Amino acid sequence: MVAIMTDTSDLLIRPATADDLPAIVTMLADDPLGATRESPDDLTPYRAAYATIAADPHQHLVVAERAGRVVGTLQLTVVPGLSRRGATRTIIEAVRIHADERGAGLGTDLVEWAVTTSRGLGATLVQLTSDASRTDAHRFYERLGFTASHLGFKLAL
Amino acid sequence: MVAIMTDTSDLLIRPATADDLPAIVTMLADDPLGATRESPDDLTPYRAAYATIAADPHQHLVVAERAGRVVGTLQLTVVPGLSRRGATRTIIEAVRIHADERGAGLGTDLVEWAVTTSRGLGATLVQLTSDASRTDAHRFYERLGFTASHLGFKLAL
């Protein structure tokens, strides 16, 4: 896991612990798409997945904490590759902001943390996919300098 | 690295070795987008990246070999996560087919290898991004069952 970063507004972005799982899963489920995909009443699959994430040094699962309360989360994955002259890229997944904090800049803080951390890890490219229905998210990422240059394809197994 | 798979047409899909780098980089560069991004005359950055990929058990960099000749490549990354009830997803990157083999089904063989391997690794979702300009690739992935449900955002650092 990477270094903890604080800013002046009492916000702490830190590695997630197993104790954060109830708060994280509640945020994953409090979402138009997540509502049908998640099971906040049964944390068993999440505990198993957390153990796998925590054991992988290339996964950086963080939470944003304000005044002792978990209010955001994001997962950053480091992917080494051959293309683009051996570029390392990072992938942002599972960005969630607590309902009480939406529109207040926390998403920007989290993504900026991910970008800064990616640079520190030697990555030259940060990428993410966003469901086509999340038009507010698209504008958000474009404001942060991301370009919607690609289509994102998924295949459920 | 994962198990080697063969089919009946003398095709071998196997983990890439350092000796495959010249052939892989030549394919990365023989591409409308790759032409400006790669440096096939200087393999130094690719050798360093290969060492990082080979040391990460969650990266599966493979080549397709036919009659002793490297004719395709693909990288599969395993990403554990909390969302979708702790789903593990895989990400396909850097799919390249040698010019002599394009349109002959090798891309299908490689992506089907990736899907089968993903299932074997316990993944429930396979995803990839494709540059918006690669319209042939989009039709190819849709034929294989992928859905272009997302936008892919990138930020160069």
- Which CA distances in Å does A106 have to A34, A66, A95, A157, B153? 19, 10, 11, 33, 19
A127 - beta bridge partners?
A91, B154
Instruction: Check CB contact under 8 Å for A151 and B148.
Output: yes
Alpha-carbon distance A152 to nearest alpha carbon in chain B (angstroms): 4
Chain A residues whose CB is inside 8 A of the B21 CB are: 82
Give burial (CB, 10 Å; 0-12/13-18/19+) of A99.
Answer: exposed
Out of B28-42, B85-99, B143-157, least confident range:
B28-42
In a mutagenesis test of the B interface, which of A44, A76, A147, A154 is the best target, namely the one with the most B β-carbons within 10 Å? Answer: A154
User: Shortest CA distance to A18 belongs to which of A68, A70, A57?
Assistant: A70
Phi, psi of A127 (to 5 degrees): -140, 160
pLDDT band with cut points at 50, 70 and 90 for residue B104: confident
Domains of chain B, first to last: 6-143 (3.40.630.30)
Strands (E), chain B: 5-6, 11-15, 59-66, 69-80, 88-97, 125-131, 147-156
pLDDT band with cut points at 50, 70 and 90 for residue B8: low
**Nearest-10 crossing angle of helices B44-54, B21-29:** 110
As a whole number, mean pLDDT of residues B67-76 equals: 96
Within 13 A of A133's CA, how many CA atoms are on the CB side?
Answer: 5
Q: Give the separation between CA A9 and CA A17, rounded to whole angstroms.
A: 22
Q: Give the separation between CA A3 and CA A12, rounded to whole angstroms.
A: 11
**pLDDT of res. A9:** 66
As a whole-number percent, the residues of chain B with pLDDT over 70 amount to: 94
- The predicted model scores a pTM of 0.92
**pLDDT of res. B7:** 52
- The closest CB to that of B154, out of A59, A127, A132, belongs to A127
Q: Would the pLDDT of B115 be above 90? A: yes
Task: Give Cα B120 to chain centroid, integer Å.
Answer: 17
Chain A residues whose CB is inside 8 A of the B139 CB are: none
Chain A residues whose CB is inside 8 A of the B28 CB are: 82-83
Tokens standing for residue B41? 């005359």
At position B51, the amino acid (one-letter code) is A
How many residues are given for chain B?
157
Q: Would the pLDDT of B29 be above 90? A: yes
As a whole number, mean pLDDT of residues A54-79 equals: 96
Q: Give the separation between CA A150 and CA B131, rounded to whole angstroms.
A: 4
**pLDDT of res. B4:** 53
Q: In this structure, are residues A95 and A111 in contact, taking their beta carbons and an 8 Å threshold?
A: yes
Instruction: Check CB contact under 8 Å for B83 and A91.
Output: no
User: Shortest CA distance to B154 belongs to which of A80, A95, A89, A61?
Assistant: A89
Cβ pairs A/B, distance under 8 A: 215
**pLDDT of res. B35:** 82
Residue B57: closest CA among chain A residues belongs to which residue? A56
Chain B residues whose CB is inside 8 A of the A145 CB are: 155
In a mutagenesis test of the A interface, which of B28, B88, B135, B153 is the best target, namely the one with the most A β-carbons within 10 Å? Answer: B153
Instruction: Check CB contact under 8 Å for B28 and A80.
Output: no
Q: Is the dihedral of CA A114, A115, A120, A125 positive or negative?
A: positive
pLDDT band with cut points at 50, 70 and 90 for residue A34: confident
pLDDT tens-digit map of B32-66: 888 889 999 999 999 999 999 999 999 999 999 99
Alpha-carbon distance A134 to nearest alpha carbon in chain B (angstroms): 9
Q: Would the pLDDT of B118 be above 80? A: yes
